[in-house]
């Protein structure tokens, strides 16, 4: 685990180089981590598909590591009866005390809505789940999913609409992921012991192979190279790096999503936390 630099020194280092990965080649930006021949890169590198059958799922991860980034990916989820499957898109460091920022899409029976599961880990500790239904069919077409992670805030966005904001509250003694470089990961796997209705609905392997599709990857990030995080700290170039919170319009959009589509918030689960909710819940107004 690297030692966290001060924000000033980090941004001084970041001024050395800015690397923005274009959306034109999965060959250049990712490598397959598991699944044998199940992951397929198609259309000259513009499209990647993951496959799940009763023998194995599959996954990939980015070649680059980032210490702060805005990551965008367009995903079309498994159609039809996807109960028991999980499609994930997330940032993660390595090791037991890892940091992680999660999108997970929990499969469904045909006609039921997908559940979008989000979580934030710091030093191996998560338990910060929020879950949502989506306001569209995520299997009919590609939709854009964004993780914005900077020293001040983590934002989760769907088609440019913020659904969740996790602020840096270290001044209040709450850990925040800022010292470990993370890679972009994605996987498609079987989790029928918990994914659909708490594990009541099992994967129907007669529907296999299950396939999720990816395109349009973009990363504006501070790339971790040889122990340094390299990016451009020009506020006019990297507005994402300096964003401290949602603006008024963004707060309104997030409130619309959370009012109409949020189905679980750890900050309102008093049964789960009988001794008191996590402290950030009271500081952010989510409780």
Query: Active-site positions?
Result: 100, 104
Distance CA 47, CA 54 (A): 24
Q: How far apart, in Å, are the Cα atoms of 274 and each of 130, 133, 205, 264, 267?
A: 18, 26, 39, 17, 12
* Cα angle for residues 158, 70, 61 (degrees, 5° grid): 90
Q: CB-side exposure of 102: number of CA atoms within 13 Å? A: 24
Q: How far is CA 198 from the centre of its chain?
A: 21
Q: Are 47 and 214 in contact (CB under 8 A)?
A: yes
């Amino acid at each position: 685990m690297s030692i966290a630099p001060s924000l000033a020194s980090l941004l001084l280092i970041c001024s050395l180089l800015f690397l923005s990965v274009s959306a034109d080649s999965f060959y250049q930006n990712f490598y397959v981590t598991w699944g044998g021949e199940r992951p397929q890169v198609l259309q000259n590198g513009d499209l990647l598909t993951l496959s799940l059958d009763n023998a194995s799922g599959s996954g990939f991860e980015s070649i680059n590591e980032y210490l702060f980034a805005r990551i965008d990916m367009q995903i079309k989820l498994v159609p039809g009866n996807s109960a028991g499957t999980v499609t994930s898109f997330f940032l993660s460091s390595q090791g037991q005390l890892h940091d992680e920022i999660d999108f997970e899409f929990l499969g469904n029976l045909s006609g039921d809505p997908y559940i979008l599961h989000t979580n934030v880990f710091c030093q191996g500790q998560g338990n910060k789940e929020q879950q949502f239904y989506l306001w569209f069919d995520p299997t009919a077409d590609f939709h854009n999913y964004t993780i914005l992670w900077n020293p001040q805030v983590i934002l989760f966005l769907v088609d440019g609409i913020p659904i969740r904001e996790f602020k840096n509250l270290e001044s209040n003694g709450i850990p925040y992921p800022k010292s470990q470089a993370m890679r972009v990961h994605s996987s498609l796997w079987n989790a029928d012991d918990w994914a659909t209705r708490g594990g009541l609905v099992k994967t129907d392997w007669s529907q296999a192979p299950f396939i999720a599709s990816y395109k349009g990857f973009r990363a504006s990030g501070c790339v971790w190279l040889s122990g340094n995080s390299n990016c451009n700290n020009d506020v006019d170039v990297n507005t994402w790096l300096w964003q401290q919170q949602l603006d008024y319009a963004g707060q309104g959009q997030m409130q619309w999503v959370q009012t109409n589509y949020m189905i679980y918030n750890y900050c309102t689960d008093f049964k789960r936390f009988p001794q008191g909710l996590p402290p950030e819940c009271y500081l952010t107004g989510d409780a």
